[in-house]
A and B are shown apart, each in its own frame.
Chain A
Amino acid sequence: MPSVMIIRLKQFVALAGLAVTDLFRQPATFILVLANIACTILVPLSVSHQLGQQSHLAVDSSLAFEFVFGLLLTGYAACSTLHDECRSGTILIVFSKPIGRLTFFLAKFTAVALLLAFFVFCSGVATLLAERLAPQNFEFDPLGLKLLMASPFLSFIPAGLLNYRSHRSFVPPALFLFALVLSVLVLILSSFDREGHRVVIGSMMDWRLLPACLLEGIALLLLAAIAISLSTRLAAPATVSILLVLLFAGLISDYLAELLQGIPLSGSVLQAILPDIQNFWPADKLAGGGVISGRMLGHAALYAAAYSSGVLCLGYTAFRNKQF
């Protein structure tokens, strides 16, 4: 007879697996991930008046896009997987089985986290490409552009054929193939310079950007914890709005604390409640050749873990007593 822990683990894996499969099949996921990649790579190509600062622009805008689209994806995914399931009644079928609410709640959070992990990976790849393909001295990289333009065809056509032949959903294979093609593109472009000559593999990419994207990913995970806790009670518009407010407030938390200096304890309470998003904003750290060290990532991860745990506890408390 399998132990209770193993049963719970199997249930957890089944729930999380189903939820993440469902999330990957949704057209909104496809649109958001694709839009993030498109904006990240194309905006630096099109805005060309930075007088030598093109790479800097590419990095800054990519990181900003990752935050914004990541937030939208987090809010949407959390509500789609939890709130909508409560509203539609499918949760009743789940709870008619011997499944604990904690297992269910954590499985949903894990599903959103897995989706975010994929998103952050795509974002990282897109950021590397954006920085590499940004015009230098107002000249574009012809090889890079040609390969970039071919990449949607190389990924969507096979996904379309798969849908045609086997009637499988178009979205997940399209997403995964696109991520794969872009990753291959990164490897290829890291081995060629702008004139098309072979160089040492990896020398043409700014690999510092990967830890930067990961740092933002940790922030998005923190926001995912907030989103899943909010979605126990609130629908998508309210959840996304609150996330936006928290993101904005988190970015200016120092300024807000200064504003509230006159009121005792208010500043420290505010700083305790608001997530300190400034810790996760890597653009300033990368300026002037800086790197995101492992230690920095570790601290950020620790902060995110502690904050997320607290938020998830609150979320679970709201969910535990919810009646359907």
Chain B
Amino acid sequence: MMLTRTIAIAWLTIREAVRSKLLLSLTCLLVAGLFGLPMLIAGDNTLEGKVQVILTYTLAFATGLLSLTTLWTACGGLSSEIQDRRLYLVLTKPLHRHELWLGKWLGIMGLNIALMGLSGLIISAMTHHAIRNSGDSLKIKRQVSEQFLLARLAVPPLTPDWSQTLSAATQRLLQSGRIPTNMTPEAIRQKLIEEIKIQHFTIPPGGGVQFSFQIPAKFKHGHDLLLRYKFDSTRPERNPVAAQWTIGTAPGPLTHIGVTNYPGIPAVLVLDAQSTAGSNLITVAYQRQDTQSQATLLFADTTQEPELLMPCGSFEMNLIRGLFVILCRLAFLAALGLTAGCLLSTPVALFTAFFILILMASAGYVESVATTGVFYIPHEGPALDPNWLDRAILHIFRGFNVITHPLIQLDPAPLLASGRVVGGKMVLLALGWLAGLYSAISALIGIALFNRRELG
């Protein structure tokens, strides 16, 4: 019986959206944006750039538009029904308020599923079309297909053993007598390791660096691997740097690949299946070919080490998983919107929901304040002591971070745009945290408020 009533409410919500042309308008806007944005945004005139533009901007547009309209429909729908008194005739029926709330939520999610599905179809079709119909050579098309039309798992490099280098550095520090007095031994050790890492990854002209990757045993050889890396430069001019990658270690077979890369721009190296066959330990060495003394100094970004990308699924399944994670986010927004709509009048609920959206978009800043503990870092001089206001605001930010942190963690767009896998763990976390826990908490609060609300 409860299910019948809940489904009746959900079906009513969907029908209202269809009949009021909301669904039609939204579909037109979505389609126009998904097709129009990649046409408007100029990439770097490469096929890879074009595909990245398609994936990045279309996903962002679909997510943004559906987030906004979910909030709008959830807040506005319920609160306007209360305002128009259409809800009187519904609530005088044998219907619990939680059934009404749940029915509305299901109806909104039904619409979202349909629109997300449409978005996924369009994005997939556009990606395939862009690769298939580009004027580039077959080799480039194959490379781009390898990069984007397969879901790839990122394998980080093995951490070198710093112990010998660390003890040598510690000895040198002790001998110099310049040990900082305001730092704990552990802090000094961490600082030394950071300096060692920077030195290790700094590549002077003619210099090089080596990385080793341990591939999981379940990986089936016979597929190309991708090495994604980025180097930066200490000099402002960004001249291309010639170098050579060597795959494998002597005395085994070695494969040499010459590259020319621009500092600061991520690059992808395709490791042919044959060059990595038979071994689960892949070693790659980067050697600069330029030896002039005035050349640019390069160093790998220590916060974003190179990663080996191994294929583990298709683009379509990966896209479906990614869209599912986005759906979980929309489920949370729908719950939040309905809760606001239960309590507030229509325009107030709408703008409150709008600000919640802005807060969620600022999740990155909230996290940085919550984790670093400061709002600013003085350019010179010691850090200022936080006063009572700073501490109070910090607690508020930490509170917000508890809510917004999963939103950063559970964002599939950067993964899809770079061909990386949206893993089962992320899907489960999204289902559990966003669609499950957060939505349930919003639902409980919303239903409790709705039960207390008088409709006079």
Contact = CB atoms under 8 A, between A and B. Distances in A.
A and B directly contacting (CB within 8 A)? yes
Interface of A: 26-28, 31-32, 35, 46-49, 51, 72, 76, 80, 135, 137-139, 237-238, 241, 259
A28 B351 CA distance: 7
Nearest to A140: B376
A32 B25 CA distance: 26
Nearest to A38: B355
A46 B375 contact: yes
Given A28-B347, A47-B365, A237-B72, A35 B355 contact: yes
A27 B345 contact: yes
Contact of B376 (A26, A32, A35, A135): A135
27 contacts: A27-B347, A27-B348, A28-B348, A28-B350, A28-B351, A31-B347, A31-B348, A32-B351, A35-B351, A35-B355, A46-B375, A47-B365, A48-B375, A48-B376, A49-B376, A51-B379, A72-B351, A80-B347, A137-B379, A138-B376, A138-B377, A138-B378, A139-B378, A237-B72, A238-B25, A241-B29, A259-B40
A146 to B, nearest CB: 10
Contacts of A259: 40
Given A35-B351, A48-B377, 17 more contacts: A26-B347, A27-B345, A28-B347, A31-B348, A31-B351, A31-B352, A32-B351, A46-B365, A46-B375, A48-B375, A48-B376, A49-B376, A49-B377, A80-B347, A135-B376, A138-B376, A139-B378
Contacts of A137: 379
Contacts of B379: 51, 137-138
Contacts of A32: 351
Interface in B333-389: 345, 347-348, 350-352, 355, 365, 369, 375-379
A72 B72 CA distance: 14
A61 B379 CA distance: 22
Contacts of B365: 46-47
Nearest to A80: B347
A49 B380 CA distance: 13
Interface of B: 25, 29, 40, 72, 345, 347-348, 350-352, 355, 365, 369, 375-379
What 3 A-B pairs come out closest when comparing CB atoms? A48-B376, A28-B347, A138-B378
Most A Cβ at <10 Å: residue of B352, B376, B379: B376
Contacts of A31: 347-348, 351-352
A76 B347 contact: yes
A138 B29 CA distance: 43
Contacts of B377: 48-49, 138
B141 to A, nearest CB: 26
A2 B376 CA distance: 66
A212 B282 CA distance: 60
Nearest to B39: A259
A80 B369 CA distance: 39
Contacts of B347: 26-28, 31, 76, 80
Contacts of A237: 72
Nearest to B20: A235
Nearest to A241: B29
A247 B200 CA distance: 50
Contacts of B355: 35
A80 B378 CA distance: 47
A323 to B, nearest CB: 20
B298 to A, nearest CB: 24
B33 to A, nearest CB: 10
Contacts of B72: 237
A207 B345 CA distance: 39
Contacts of A28: 347-348, 350-351
Most A Cβ at <10 Å: residue of B345, B350, B377: B350
Nearest to A30: B348
B30 to A, nearest CB: 12
A259 B351 CA distance: 36
Contacts of B350: 28
